[in-house]
């Protein structure tokens, strides 16, 4: 495999004569582009995703004629030393064999997702001045034409200040092929930040808010970050704080810049991450990712993004992320509207309702996982405590966790005894 990639990388570094011919043929200089594969310890996922990247072609030519491939592997967490050391080492060996030491970076200690992404981004955009980069994670397989179509979007929007991120994996992954074909020229908002492309200029503009976030979470293990502290910080900036992940923070930063995260309707990616930081087999199955329908036909030239579509996509993102009048926030405050804009005022505790942080905590307590996305949190914000707890206690996922039944019974008995005394 290393020889295969060696041939591909040689093709991406043409001779001076060839470069001169290319410049003569191109009306504008080509963007300097890279693909970054972010990985950790799952060899099965990693090997499948890596192969899907190596198989990519753009205009029937190896993707490496336009993109440099880098692999970034985070160091093993202490909690995984006894269970994943061998898997982690296998990922390291394959990555090194495939791209070589100049394009593979292994962290000696675990940085966590946020700081690991930061390392990769700084390497590409600051140290090596790439104009544009595609970030892939080790649990989403790229469909046959993923980079081909994403590259068309990148060339289309390279000078469009309205665009924050682009991808070719959408929430329409279960849509029939006929529906995907009919809507192939329709722009939709990005769902998860999987296999996304971003321009250096956009990354630079996001930096102030992202750097604040990184300072806030510090060097504490990422999975143990202080969710409440992050949500309080987001609330202070006028955001709902429905999630505290690094990709959610970037989504907020882009909304603040009036930039949208956009895809075309058809789905070109297959998410395989049933087991990971935010997913379990149960909720992976519930989302039916294994039944994703991949669109493998070439799309027509990218359509223009008209003003009405841009405004609609931005409004949708703002609705999802920005605080509105009456929205509950962390820290015993609520949002009201004044003549000068949004302000924060003390909350009447008698009217207290469930907040985003409470929903996230309930997921950890009852289901032993984090919520999969913002969409599952928002409907529960503002409900009563009783409504929230009942929805979890009666959920199929919780009822399937038989190990929790003794604790539930004991809690019920305690409540009954307390009611008798009162």
**Overall average pLDDT of the 9-35 stretch:** 56
In this model, does residue 143 exceed pLDDT 80? yes
Q: Does position 185 have pLDDT exceeding 60, yes or no? A: yes
Are 289 and 191 contacting, i.e. CB atoms less than 8 angstroms apart? no
What pLDDT shows up at residue 368? 75
Could you give the CA distance from residue 213 to residue 250 in angstroms, rounded to a whole number? 10
| pLDDT given at position 375 | 62
Q: pLDDT digit string (tens) for 89-103? A: 999 999 999 999 999
pLDDT of residue 79: 83
Count other Cβ atoms within 10 Å, centred on residue 351.
Answer: 8
Strands of 328-329's sheet, edge to edge?
328-329, 333-338, 341-346
Phi-psi region of 317 (alpha: psi -120 to 50; beta: other; left: phi over 0): alpha
Lookup: tokens for 61: 């030519």
Q: Which of 170-184, 234-248, 351-365 has the highest mean pLDDT?
A: 170-184
Q: In this structure, what token pair is assigned to residue 341?
A: 């804009």
Cβ burial of 160 (10 Å; 0-12, 13-18, 19+) is middle
Query: Is it the case that residue 359 has pLDDT exceeding 50?
Result: yes
Q: What share of the chain is helix, strand, coil (3-state, %, to 5)?
A: 50, 15, 35
Q: Tokens 């898997």 map to which residue?
A: 87
Is 76 or 391 the better-scoring residue by pLDDT?
A: 76
**Which DSSP symbol is given to 239?**
B
pLDDT above 80: residue 85: yes
* 336, pLDDT greater than 60: no
Q: How far apart are CA 279 and CA 275, in angstroms?
A: 6
Q: Is the pLDDT of residue 190 over 50?
A: yes
Q: Determine the angle formed by the axes of helices 200-217 and 246-256, rounding to 10 degrees.
A: 130
199: three-class secondary structure by DSSP: strand
Q: How far apart are CA 422 and CA 406, in angstroms?
A: 25
pLDDT band per the 50, 70, 90 thresholds, residue 278: low
Confidence band of 380 (pLDDT split at 50, 70, 90):
confident
Q: For residue 420, name the pLDDT band (cuts at 50, 70, 90).
A: low
User: In this predicted structure, what is the pLDDT of residue 259?
Assistant: 98
In 257-362 the beta strands, taken as DSSP E runs, fall at 260-264, 269-271, 328-329, 333-338, 341-346
Burial class of residue 75 (count of CB atoms within 10 Å of its CB; 0-12, 13-18, 19+): middle
- Cβ pair 36, 133 in contact under 8 A: yes
What the block records as the tokens of 344 is 């924060």
Q: Give, as one character, the DSSP assignment of residue 55.
A: T
Six token digits for residue 243: 């999630």
The mean per-residue pLDDT over the stretch 281-305 comes to: 92
Residue 408: its H or E element: helix 405-421
Q: Closest by alpha carbon to 245, among 276, 212, 217? A: 217
Question: What is the percent of the chain with per-residue pLDDT over 70, rounded to a whole number?
Answer: 80
Does the pLDDT value for residue 331 go beyond 60? no
Q: How many Å separate Cα 350 from the centre of its chain?
A: 37
176 burial (CB, 10 Å; 0-12 / 13-18 / 19+) is exposed
Model confidence at 10: pLDDT above 80: no
**Least confident window among 34-38, 330-334, 368-372:** 330-334
Q: What is the pLDDT of residue 415?
A: 63
Determine the distance from the C-alpha atom of residue 58 to the mean position of all C-alpha atoms in its chain, rounded to a whole number: 24
Q: Name, in order, each residue with C-beta under 8 angstroms of 298's C-beta and a sequence gap of 6 or more.
A: 145, 148, 149
For residue 419, name the pLDDT band (cuts at 50, 70, 90).
low
Classify the C-alpha dihedral 79-81-87-90 as positive or negative.
positive
pLDDT in tens, 225-239: 888 899 999 999 999
**Residue 383: pLDDT over 80:** no
Q: Of 66, 208, 222, 62, which Cα lies nearest the Cα of 134?
A: 66
pLDDT score of 275 more than 70: yes
Among 209-213, 369-373, 416-420, top mean pLDDT goes to 209-213
Residue 52 or 171, more confident? 52
Indicate the pTM of the whole model: 0.75
């Amino acid at each position: 495999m290393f020889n295969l990639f060696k041939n591909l990388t040689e093709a991406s570094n043409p001779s001076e004569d060839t470069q001169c011919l290319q410049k003569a043929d191109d009306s504008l200089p080509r963007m300097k582009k890279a693909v970054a594969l972010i990985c950790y310890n799952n060899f099965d996922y990693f090997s499948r995703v890596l192969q899907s990247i190596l198989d990519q072609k753009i205009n029937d030519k190896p993707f490496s004629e336009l993109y440099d491939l880098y692999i970034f592997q985070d160091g093993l967490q202490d909690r995984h030393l006894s269970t994943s050391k061998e898997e982690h080492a296998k990922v390291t060996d394959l990555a090194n064999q495939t791209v070589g030491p100049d394009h593979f970076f292994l962290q000696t200690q675990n940085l966590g997702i946020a700081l690991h992404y930061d390392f990769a981004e700084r390497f590409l955009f600051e140290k090596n001045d790439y104009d544009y980069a595609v970030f892939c994670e080790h649990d989403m397989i790229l469909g046959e034409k993923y980079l081909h179509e994403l590259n068309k979007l990148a060339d289309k929007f390279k000078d469009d200040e309205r665009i924050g991120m682009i991808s070719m994996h959408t929430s329409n992954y279960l849509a029939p092929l006929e529906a995907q074909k009919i809507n192939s020229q329709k722009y939709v908002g990005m769902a998860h930040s999987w296999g996304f492309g971003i321009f250096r200029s956009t990354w630079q503009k996001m930096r102030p808010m992202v750097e604040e976030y990184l300072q806030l979470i510090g060097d504490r293990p990422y999975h143990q970050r202080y969710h409440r502290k992050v949500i309080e910080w987001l609330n202070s900036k006028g955001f709902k704080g429905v999630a505290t992940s690094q990709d959610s923070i970037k989504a907020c930063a882009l909304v603040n810049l009036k930039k949208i995260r956009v895809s075309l309707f058809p789905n070109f990616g297959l998410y395989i991450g049933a087991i990971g930081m935010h997913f379990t087999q149960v909720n992976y199955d519930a989302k039916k990712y294994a039944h994703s329908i991949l669109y493998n036909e070439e799309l027509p030239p990218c359509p223009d993004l008209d003003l009405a579509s841009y405004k609609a996509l931005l409004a949708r993102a703002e609705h999802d992320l920005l605080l509105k009048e009456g929205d509950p926030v962390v820290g015993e405050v609520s949002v009201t509207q004044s003549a000068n804009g949004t302000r924060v005022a003390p909350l009447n505790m008698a009217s207290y309702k469930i907040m985003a942080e409470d929903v996230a905590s309930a997921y950890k307590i009852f289901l032993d996982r984090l919520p999969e996305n913002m969409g599952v949190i928002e409907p529960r914000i503002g409900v009563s405590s009783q409504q929230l707890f009942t929805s979890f206690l009666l959920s199929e996922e919780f009822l399937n966790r038989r190990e929790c039944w003794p604790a539930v019974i004991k809690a019920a008995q305690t409540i009954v005894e307390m009611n008798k005394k009162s």
